Structure 1
Amino acid sequence: MAIFSCATGGKIASLCASADLGPSQGSLAYRFGRKGAIELKHPEARALPDQAFSTAVIGDAGFAGDIVRFSRGETRYTLYSIIVKGQGERDGILVSRGGRRLAELKCEDSALGADAWKLLYRAKLPKAEPASLD
Protein backbone atom coordinates (compact mmCIF):
# COMPACT_ATOMS: atom_id res chain seq x y z
CA MET A 1 0.00 0.00 0.00
CA ALA A 2 1.40 3.39 -0.99
CA ILE A 3 1.66 5.74 1.97
CA PHE A 4 3.55 8.47 0.12
CA SER A 5 3.95 8.74 -3.64
CA CYS A 6 5.55 11.84 -5.11
CA ALA A 7 6.09 12.72 -8.76
CA THR A 8 9.00 15.12 -9.14
CA GLY A 9 10.98 16.01 -12.24
CA GLY A 10 10.02 12.90 -14.22
CA LYS A 11 10.85 10.59 -11.33
CA ILE A 12 8.73 8.98 -8.64
CA ALA A 13 9.47 8.67 -4.91
CA SER A 14 7.29 6.15 -3.07
CA LEU A 15 7.02 4.88 0.49
CA CYS A 16 5.03 1.64 0.61
CA ALA A 17 3.90 -0.45 3.58
CA SER A 18 2.55 -3.92 4.05
CA ALA A 19 -0.99 -4.20 5.45
CA ASP A 20 0.38 -5.76 8.66
CA LEU A 21 2.67 -2.82 9.45
CA GLY A 22 2.98 -2.48 13.20
CA PRO A 23 5.54 -2.31 16.00
CA SER A 24 8.43 -4.56 14.97
CA GLN A 25 6.47 -6.23 12.17
CA GLY A 26 5.56 -5.83 8.53
CA SER A 27 7.54 -4.00 5.90
CA LEU A 28 8.15 -0.41 4.90
CA ALA A 29 10.16 0.44 1.78
CA TYR A 30 11.22 3.60 -0.05
CA ARG A 31 11.96 3.64 -3.78
CA PHE A 32 13.11 6.51 -6.01
CA GLY A 33 13.66 6.65 -9.75
CA ARG A 34 11.99 6.22 -13.10
CA LYS A 35 9.66 3.35 -13.94
CA GLY A 36 11.87 0.31 -14.45
CA ALA A 37 15.02 2.16 -13.28
CA ILE A 38 15.18 2.45 -9.49
CA GLU A 39 18.00 4.74 -8.38
CA LEU A 40 17.57 4.45 -4.61
CA LYS A 41 16.02 1.70 -2.52
CA HIS A 42 15.79 1.78 1.27
CA PRO A 43 16.34 -0.43 3.09
CA GLU A 44 18.50 -2.35 0.64
CA ALA A 45 18.09 -5.59 2.57
CA ARG A 46 14.98 -6.65 4.48
CA ALA A 47 14.80 -4.84 7.84
CA LEU A 48 12.09 -4.16 10.37
CA PRO A 49 10.48 -0.74 9.79
CA ASP A 50 11.48 0.57 13.23
CA GLN A 51 15.13 -0.17 12.41
CA ALA A 52 15.08 1.60 9.05
CA PHE A 53 12.77 4.63 9.48
CA SER A 54 11.71 7.27 12.00
CA THR A 55 8.78 9.70 12.06
CA ALA A 56 7.65 12.89 13.77
CA VAL A 57 4.88 15.45 13.92
CA ILE A 58 6.33 18.90 13.28
CA GLY A 59 5.11 22.48 13.34
CA ASP A 60 5.14 26.00 14.64
CA ALA A 61 2.86 29.03 14.32
CA GLY A 62 3.04 28.98 10.49
CA PHE A 63 2.88 25.30 9.56
CA ALA A 64 2.12 21.79 10.79
CA GLY A 65 2.72 18.37 9.35
CA ASP A 66 4.38 14.99 9.45
CA ILE A 67 7.75 13.63 8.41
CA VAL A 68 9.30 10.23 7.77
CA ARG A 69 13.06 10.05 7.85
CA PHE A 70 15.82 7.60 6.99
CA SER A 71 19.57 7.82 6.51
CA ARG A 72 21.99 6.28 4.05
CA GLY A 73 25.47 6.73 5.43
CA GLU A 74 25.78 10.44 6.23
CA THR A 75 22.94 11.43 3.89
CA ARG A 76 19.53 12.00 5.47
CA TYR A 77 16.24 11.83 3.57
CA THR A 78 13.14 13.51 4.99
CA LEU A 79 9.75 12.89 3.36
CA TYR A 80 7.29 15.54 4.43
CA SER A 81 3.66 16.53 4.17
CA ILE A 82 2.92 19.90 5.73
CA ILE A 83 0.15 22.46 5.70
CA VAL A 84 1.44 26.03 5.52
CA LYS A 85 -0.88 28.68 6.93
CA GLY A 86 -2.54 30.56 4.08
CA GLN A 87 -0.77 28.45 1.41
CA GLY A 88 -2.19 24.94 1.74
CA GLU A 89 -0.52 21.55 1.59
CA ARG A 90 3.09 20.98 0.55
CA ASP A 91 4.68 17.59 0.09
CA GLY A 92 8.24 16.74 -0.81
CA ILE A 93 11.60 15.25 0.06
CA LEU A 94 14.57 16.99 1.64
CA VAL A 95 18.05 15.56 1.22
CA SER A 96 20.76 16.75 3.62
CA ARG A 97 24.23 15.86 4.80
CA GLY A 98 26.01 17.20 7.85
CA GLY A 99 23.15 19.62 8.55
CA ARG A 100 23.45 21.13 5.06
CA ARG A 101 20.57 20.88 2.62
CA LEU A 102 21.64 19.22 -0.64
CA ALA A 103 18.27 19.14 -2.41
CA GLU A 104 14.56 19.68 -1.98
CA LEU A 105 12.30 17.76 -4.32
CA LYS A 106 8.78 19.19 -4.31
CA CYS A 107 5.89 16.91 -5.22
CA GLU A 108 3.85 17.90 -8.25
CA ASP A 109 0.61 16.74 -6.57
CA SER A 110 -0.51 15.55 -3.16
CA ALA A 111 1.73 12.68 -2.14
CA LEU A 112 -0.36 11.04 0.56
CA GLY A 113 -2.39 7.87 0.30
CA ALA A 114 -5.67 7.43 2.21
CA ASP A 115 -5.04 7.07 5.96
CA ALA A 116 -1.30 7.18 5.26
CA TRP A 117 -0.05 8.61 8.53
CA LYS A 118 -2.54 6.56 10.56
CA LEU A 119 -0.76 3.42 9.34
CA LEU A 120 2.65 4.89 10.20
CA TYR A 121 1.50 5.91 13.68
CA ARG A 122 0.24 2.35 14.24
CA ALA A 123 3.76 1.13 13.48
CA LYS A 124 5.15 3.24 16.36
CA LEU A 125 8.36 4.08 14.55
CA PRO A 126 11.09 5.82 16.55
CA LYS A 127 10.85 9.59 16.85
CA ALA A 128 12.87 11.45 14.22
CA GLU A 129 15.56 13.69 15.69
CA PRO A 130 15.51 16.54 15.33
CA ALA A 131 11.75 16.73 14.82
CA SER A 132 12.01 19.38 12.13
CA LEU A 133 12.25 19.64 8.37
CA ASP A 134 16.03 20.15 8.47
Structure 2
Amino acid sequence: MSTSLIRSASVIFLLLSALPAAAQDTVTVGGEKKRAFGTPIEFQNGDVSCGVTLKDDRGAIFYESADFDLCVQEKALKGKRLALTYKTARVMAASCQGNPDCKKSDTVVLIVSAKPAPLAAAAPAAPSAPPPAAAKAGQTSFCTPTETVVFSCRTSPTKLVSVCASKDAGPTRGYLQYRTGKPDSSEPLDLTLPAAQMPPPQAASGESVPFAGGGGAWLRIATKTNNIAFTVYTGIGKWGPRGEVQEKAGLAVERDGKRIATLKCIGKPISLLGPDWFEKAGIKSKDLDFDFPD
Protein backbone atom coordinates (compact mmCIF):
# COMPACT_ATOMS: atom_id res chain seq x y z
CA MET A 1 0.00 0.00 0.00
CA SER A 2 1.35 3.46 -0.84
CA THR A 3 2.75 5.57 2.00
CA SER A 4 0.35 8.35 1.04
CA LEU A 5 -2.54 6.18 2.20
CA ILE A 6 -0.99 4.63 5.29
CA ARG A 7 -0.02 6.76 8.30
CA SER A 8 0.55 4.33 11.07
CA ALA A 9 -1.25 5.14 14.31
CA SER A 10 0.72 2.47 16.15
CA VAL A 11 3.00 -0.28 14.98
CA ILE A 12 3.33 -3.64 16.66
CA PHE A 13 5.91 -5.95 15.19
CA LEU A 14 5.44 -9.51 16.36
CA LEU A 15 8.54 -11.68 16.19
CA LEU A 16 6.33 -14.75 15.94
CA SER A 17 8.35 -16.69 13.44
CA ALA A 18 11.00 -17.22 16.11
CA LEU A 19 8.50 -18.68 18.62
CA PRO A 20 7.13 -22.21 18.82
CA ALA A 21 3.76 -22.55 17.10
CA ALA A 22 1.93 -23.20 20.36
CA ALA A 23 3.47 -20.22 22.21
CA GLN A 24 0.93 -17.61 21.18
CA ASP A 25 -2.24 -18.21 19.16
CA THR A 26 -3.63 -14.67 19.23
CA VAL A 27 -2.39 -11.11 19.58
CA THR A 28 -4.15 -7.82 20.34
CA VAL A 29 -3.56 -4.93 17.95
CA GLY A 30 -5.43 -1.63 18.08
CA GLY A 31 -7.81 -3.12 20.63
CA GLU A 32 -8.70 -6.03 18.32
CA LYS A 33 -7.80 -9.66 18.97
CA LYS A 34 -6.16 -11.19 15.90
CA ARG A 35 -4.94 -14.67 15.01
CA ALA A 36 -1.16 -14.89 15.10
CA PHE A 37 -0.98 -17.69 12.54
CA GLY A 38 -2.92 -18.52 9.38
CA THR A 39 -2.77 -20.30 6.05
CA PRO A 40 -3.99 -18.08 3.17
CA ILE A 41 -6.34 -19.70 0.66
CA GLU A 42 -7.36 -16.64 -1.36
CA PHE A 43 -6.12 -13.10 -2.05
CA GLN A 44 -8.21 -10.28 -3.51
CA ASN A 45 -7.11 -6.73 -4.33
CA GLY A 46 -9.56 -4.10 -3.10
CA ASP A 47 -9.78 -0.32 -3.30
CA VAL A 48 -7.98 0.30 0.02
CA SER A 49 -6.26 -2.96 0.92
CA CYS A 50 -5.51 -6.55 -0.02
CA GLY A 51 -8.24 -8.89 1.25
CA VAL A 52 -6.97 -12.26 2.47
CA THR A 53 -9.02 -15.35 3.29
CA LEU A 54 -7.17 -17.70 5.67
CA LYS A 55 -7.59 -20.89 7.68
CA ASP A 56 -6.33 -21.16 11.25
CA ASP A 57 -4.71 -24.26 12.76
CA ARG A 58 -8.13 -25.70 13.62
CA GLY A 59 -9.49 -25.27 10.10
CA ALA A 60 -11.66 -22.22 10.89
CA ILE A 61 -11.86 -19.70 8.05
CA PHE A 62 -11.19 -16.04 8.83
CA TYR A 63 -10.65 -12.84 6.86
CA GLU A 64 -8.17 -9.99 7.20
CA SER A 65 -7.17 -6.82 5.40
CA ALA A 66 -3.52 -6.62 4.45
CA ASP A 67 -0.93 -4.38 2.85
CA PHE A 68 -1.12 -4.52 -0.96
CA ASP A 69 2.35 -6.10 -0.94
CA LEU A 70 0.83 -9.35 0.32
CA CYS A 71 -1.38 -9.64 -2.77
CA VAL A 72 1.78 -9.23 -4.86
CA GLN A 73 3.29 -12.19 -2.96
CA GLU A 74 0.23 -14.41 -3.47
CA LYS A 75 2.09 -17.23 -5.29
CA ALA A 76 4.80 -17.42 -2.64
CA LEU A 77 2.42 -17.28 0.36
CA LYS A 78 -0.73 -19.14 -0.70
CA GLY A 79 -1.21 -22.47 1.05
CA LYS A 80 1.62 -21.96 3.56
CA ARG A 81 1.24 -21.61 7.31
CA LEU A 82 2.36 -18.07 8.18
CA ALA A 83 3.22 -16.03 11.26
CA LEU A 84 1.28 -12.78 10.86
CA THR A 85 2.49 -9.30 11.79
CA TYR A 86 -0.16 -6.56 12.14
CA LYS A 87 -0.27 -2.79 12.52
CA THR A 88 -2.94 -0.12 12.70
CA ALA A 89 -3.05 2.28 9.76
CA ARG A 90 -5.01 5.12 8.21
CA VAL A 91 -6.38 4.20 4.81
CA MET A 92 -8.76 5.69 2.28
CA ALA A 93 -12.33 5.27 3.54
CA ALA A 94 -14.35 2.51 1.92
CA SER A 95 -17.02 5.11 1.13
CA CYS A 96 -14.53 6.77 -1.26
CA GLN A 97 -14.87 3.74 -3.57
CA GLY A 98 -11.28 4.16 -4.79
CA ASN A 99 -11.62 7.82 -5.78
CA PRO A 100 -8.08 9.28 -5.39
CA ASP A 101 -9.52 12.76 -4.77
CA CYS A 102 -11.51 11.60 -1.76
CA LYS A 103 -10.07 12.88 1.55
CA LYS A 104 -11.96 10.59 3.94
CA SER A 105 -10.04 7.92 5.83
CA ASP A 106 -10.58 5.00 8.21
CA THR A 107 -8.37 3.42 10.85
CA VAL A 108 -7.93 -0.30 10.24
CA VAL A 109 -5.72 -3.18 11.36
CA LEU A 110 -3.66 -4.60 8.51
CA ILE A 111 -1.40 -7.60 8.06
CA VAL A 112 1.91 -6.02 7.02
CA SER A 113 4.17 -9.07 7.09
CA ALA A 114 3.73 -12.83 6.79
CA LYS A 115 6.58 -15.26 7.37
CA PRO A 116 6.54 -19.06 6.95
CA ALA A 117 5.94 -20.76 10.31
CA PRO A 118 5.78 -24.57 10.14
CA LEU A 119 3.84 -26.34 12.88
CA ALA A 120 5.99 -27.38 15.78
CA ALA A 121 6.58 -31.12 16.01
CA ALA A 122 4.07 -32.77 18.31
CA ALA A 123 5.44 -34.36 21.47
CA PRO A 124 5.32 -38.19 21.51
CA ALA A 125 2.20 -39.48 23.20
CA ALA A 126 2.64 -41.21 26.54
CA PRO A 127 2.38 -45.03 26.31
CA SER A 128 -0.85 -44.96 28.29
CA ALA A 129 -2.48 -42.24 26.19
CA PRO A 130 -5.52 -43.50 24.23
CA PRO A 131 -5.34 -43.28 20.42
CA PRO A 132 -7.45 -40.60 18.68
CA ALA A 133 -10.03 -43.21 17.68
CA ALA A 134 -10.71 -43.84 21.35
CA ALA A 135 -11.74 -40.23 22.00
CA LYS A 136 -15.32 -39.78 23.12
CA ALA A 137 -17.93 -38.52 20.71
CA GLY A 138 -18.41 -35.42 22.90
CA GLN A 139 -20.41 -32.34 21.97
CA THR A 140 -22.84 -32.77 19.08
CA SER A 141 -23.94 -29.14 18.56
CA PHE A 142 -23.55 -25.57 19.77
CA CYS A 143 -27.30 -25.26 20.33
CA THR A 144 -28.65 -24.84 23.85
CA PRO A 145 -31.29 -27.16 25.37
CA THR A 146 -33.90 -24.44 24.77
CA GLU A 147 -33.11 -24.31 21.02
CA THR A 148 -33.77 -26.53 18.01
CA VAL A 149 -30.80 -28.14 16.26
CA VAL A 150 -31.53 -27.40 12.60
CA PHE A 151 -28.19 -28.78 11.42
CA SER A 152 -24.97 -29.91 13.08
CA CYS A 153 -21.91 -31.96 12.18
CA ARG A 154 -18.17 -32.13 12.66
CA THR A 155 -16.15 -31.27 9.58
CA SER A 156 -12.94 -32.32 11.35
CA PRO A 157 -12.13 -33.73 14.81
CA THR A 158 -11.67 -30.15 16.05
CA LYS A 159 -14.34 -28.34 14.00
CA LEU A 160 -18.08 -28.32 14.73
CA VAL A 161 -20.66 -26.50 12.60
CA SER A 162 -24.20 -25.90 13.90
CA VAL A 163 -27.32 -24.06 12.83
CA CYS A 164 -29.57 -23.35 15.81
CA ALA A 165 -33.06 -21.87 16.02
CA SER A 166 -35.34 -20.80 18.80
CA LYS A 167 -38.19 -23.19 19.54
CA ASP A 168 -40.71 -20.61 18.30
CA ALA A 169 -38.83 -19.83 15.07
CA GLY A 170 -41.21 -18.85 12.28
CA PRO A 171 -41.56 -16.45 9.34
CA THR A 172 -41.95 -13.41 11.63
CA ARG A 173 -40.69 -14.53 15.03
CA GLY A 174 -37.82 -16.25 16.79
CA TYR A 175 -34.31 -16.49 15.40
CA LEU A 176 -31.80 -18.65 13.54
CA GLN A 177 -28.00 -18.57 13.87
CA TYR A 178 -24.99 -20.28 12.29
CA ARG A 179 -22.30 -21.15 14.85
CA THR A 180 -18.89 -22.74 14.43
CA GLY A 181 -15.92 -23.42 16.65
CA LYS A 182 -13.97 -26.03 18.55
CA PRO A 183 -16.17 -28.65 20.25
CA ASP A 184 -15.63 -29.85 23.83
CA SER A 185 -13.79 -26.64 24.61
CA SER A 186 -14.17 -23.59 26.85
CA GLU A 187 -12.82 -21.36 24.06
CA PRO A 188 -15.26 -18.84 22.52
CA LEU A 189 -16.92 -19.70 19.22
CA ASP A 190 -15.07 -18.78 16.05
CA LEU A 191 -18.19 -17.28 14.49
CA THR A 192 -21.86 -16.61 15.26
CA LEU A 193 -23.89 -15.38 12.29
CA PRO A 194 -25.91 -13.25 12.27
CA ALA A 195 -24.68 -11.74 15.52
CA ALA A 196 -28.13 -10.33 16.27
CA GLN A 197 -31.14 -12.59 16.70
CA MET A 198 -33.60 -12.21 13.82
CA PRO A 199 -36.38 -14.32 12.26
CA PRO A 200 -35.15 -17.15 10.00
CA PRO A 201 -36.18 -15.53 6.67
CA GLN A 202 -34.05 -12.49 7.53
CA ALA A 203 -31.07 -14.62 8.58
CA ALA A 204 -30.95 -17.24 5.84
CA SER A 205 -32.16 -18.55 2.52
CA GLY A 206 -32.62 -22.15 1.49
CA GLU A 207 -34.39 -24.66 -0.70
CA SER A 208 -35.26 -28.33 -1.08
CA VAL A 209 -34.34 -29.82 -4.46
CA PRO A 210 -35.22 -33.17 -6.09
CA PHE A 211 -32.58 -35.59 -7.36
CA ALA A 212 -32.74 -38.91 -9.14
CA GLY A 213 -32.90 -41.47 -6.38
CA GLY A 214 -33.59 -38.96 -3.62
CA GLY A 215 -33.30 -35.23 -2.97
CA GLY A 216 -31.38 -32.57 -1.10
CA ALA A 217 -31.66 -29.34 0.84
CA TRP A 218 -29.40 -26.38 1.53
CA LEU A 219 -29.43 -23.45 3.95
CA ARG A 220 -27.31 -20.34 3.28
CA ILE A 221 -26.29 -17.71 5.85
CA ALA A 222 -24.33 -14.71 4.54
CA THR A 223 -22.45 -11.78 6.06
CA LYS A 224 -23.29 -8.27 4.87
CA THR A 225 -19.91 -6.60 5.32
CA ASN A 226 -17.57 -9.22 3.86
CA ASN A 227 -19.87 -10.77 1.28
CA ILE A 228 -19.09 -14.19 2.75
CA ALA A 229 -21.66 -16.99 2.69
CA PHE A 230 -21.82 -20.28 4.58
CA THR A 231 -24.10 -22.99 3.17
CA VAL A 232 -24.87 -26.21 5.02
CA TYR A 233 -26.34 -28.99 2.92
CA THR A 234 -27.58 -32.58 2.92
CA GLY A 235 -28.59 -34.76 0.01
CA ILE A 236 -29.07 -38.27 -1.30
CA GLY A 237 -28.96 -39.24 -4.97
CA LYS A 238 -27.45 -41.48 -7.61
CA TRP A 239 -23.99 -39.97 -7.29
CA GLY A 240 -21.94 -43.16 -7.19
CA PRO A 241 -19.47 -44.09 -9.98
CA ARG A 242 -22.05 -46.49 -11.42
CA GLY A 243 -25.13 -44.61 -10.40
CA GLU A 244 -25.25 -45.98 -6.87
CA VAL A 245 -27.26 -44.01 -4.33
CA GLN A 246 -24.96 -42.00 -2.05
CA GLU A 247 -25.45 -39.38 0.67
CA LYS A 248 -23.79 -35.97 0.94
CA ALA A 249 -23.58 -33.51 3.82
CA GLY A 250 -21.28 -30.65 4.72
CA LEU A 251 -20.48 -26.96 4.56
CA ALA A 252 -19.62 -24.81 1.53
CA VAL A 253 -17.99 -21.38 1.93
CA GLU A 254 -18.27 -18.64 -0.69
CA ARG A 255 -16.70 -15.22 -1.11
CA ASP A 256 -18.22 -12.80 -3.62
CA GLY A 257 -20.22 -15.66 -5.10
CA LYS A 258 -17.16 -17.87 -5.65
CA ARG A 259 -16.78 -21.10 -3.69
CA ILE A 260 -13.51 -21.09 -1.77
CA ALA A 261 -13.89 -24.14 0.49
CA THR A 262 -15.97 -27.29 0.91
CA LEU A 263 -15.90 -29.20 4.20
CA LYS A 264 -17.63 -32.59 4.36
CA CYS A 265 -19.33 -33.90 7.47
CA ILE A 266 -17.59 -36.63 9.42
CA GLY A 267 -20.32 -39.19 9.96
CA LYS A 268 -24.04 -38.58 9.72
CA PRO A 269 -25.19 -35.02 10.51
CA ILE A 270 -28.08 -33.92 12.67
CA SER A 271 -30.41 -32.25 10.19
CA LEU A 272 -33.94 -30.89 9.86
CA LEU A 273 -33.19 -29.39 6.45
CA GLY A 274 -36.09 -30.03 4.14
CA PRO A 275 -39.49 -28.78 3.01
CA ASP A 276 -41.28 -29.29 6.34
CA TRP A 277 -38.89 -27.22 8.42
CA PHE A 278 -38.38 -24.64 5.67
CA GLU A 279 -42.14 -24.07 5.49
CA LYS A 280 -42.43 -23.80 9.28
CA ALA A 281 -39.58 -21.27 9.46
CA GLY A 282 -40.51 -19.35 6.31
CA ILE A 283 -37.23 -20.15 4.55
CA LYS A 284 -37.16 -19.47 0.78
CA SER A 285 -34.46 -19.58 -1.89
CA LYS A 286 -34.57 -15.82 -2.63
CA ASP A 287 -33.80 -16.72 -6.28
CA LEU A 288 -30.45 -18.22 -5.29
CA ASP A 289 -29.10 -21.59 -6.46
CA PHE A 290 -26.69 -24.05 -4.90
CA ASP A 291 -24.52 -26.64 -6.65
CA PHE A 292 -24.03 -29.69 -4.44
CA PRO A 293 -20.30 -30.51 -4.17
CA ASP A 294 -18.97 -33.74 -5.65
Normalised-by-shorter TM-score class:
0.7 to 0.9
The superposition leaves residues 30-59 of structure 1 with CA deviations (integer Å, 9 ceiling, x where unpaired) of: 100103331111111122221111111234
2:248 to 90, 100, 106: 90
Q: Is the 8 A contact 2:204 2:219 kept in 1?
A: yes
1:4 matches 2:4: no
1:44 matches 2:195: yes
Q: Cα gap change, 1:116/1:127 in structure 2, threshold over 3 Å: closer, same or farther? A: closer
User: The residue matched to 2:202 in structure 1 has which SS?
Assistant: helix
Q: CA deviation at 1:128?
A: 4.2
The superposition leaves residues 85-113 of structure 1 with CA deviations (integer Å, 9 ceiling, x where unpaired) of: 12422110100123321100100022134
Q: Which amino acid aligns with 1:107?
A: C
Q: CA deviation at 1:4?
A: 0.6
State the match for 2:221 in structure 1: 70
Q: List aligned pairs for 1:11-50, cutoff 5 A.
A: 11-35=159-183, 36-50=187-201
Taking the aligned partners of 2:245 and 2:263, their CA distance within structure 1 comes to: 18
Task: List, as ranges, runs of 4+ consecutive aligned residues in structure 1 with deviation greater than 6 Å.
Answer: none
Which is greater in Rg?
2
Q: Is the 8 A contact 1:67 1:133 kept in 2?
A: no
Q: Which amino acid aligns with 2:175?
A: S
Runs of 5+ consecutive residues of structure 2 not aligned to the other structure: 1-147, 239-243
Q: Is the 8 A contact 1:69 1:128 kept in 2?
A: no
Highest RCO, 1 vs 2 (Cα 8 Å, sep ≥ 6): 1
2:264 to 100, 103, 106: 106
Q: CA deviation at 1:15?
A: 0.6
The percent identity for this pair of structures is 32
Taking the aligned partners of 1:98 and 1:63, their CA distance within structure 2 comes to: 30
Q: Is the 8 A contact 2:176 2:197 kept in 1?
A: no
Q: Is the 8 A contact 2:219 2:273 kept in 1?
A: no
Q: Is the 8 A contact 1:6 1:107 kept in 2?
A: yes
Q: TM-score, normalised by structure 1?
A: 0.86
Q: Is the 8 A contact 1:16 1:30 kept in 2?
A: yes
CA RMSD of aligned residues (A): 2.1
Q: TM-score, normalised by structure 2?
A: 0.42
How many residue pairs get matched?
A: 133
Taking the aligned partners of 1:12 and 1:48, their CA distance within structure 2 comes to: 23
Runs of 5+ consecutive residues of structure 1 not aligned to the other structure: none
Taking the aligned partners of 1:132 and 1:62, their CA distance within structure 2 comes to: 19
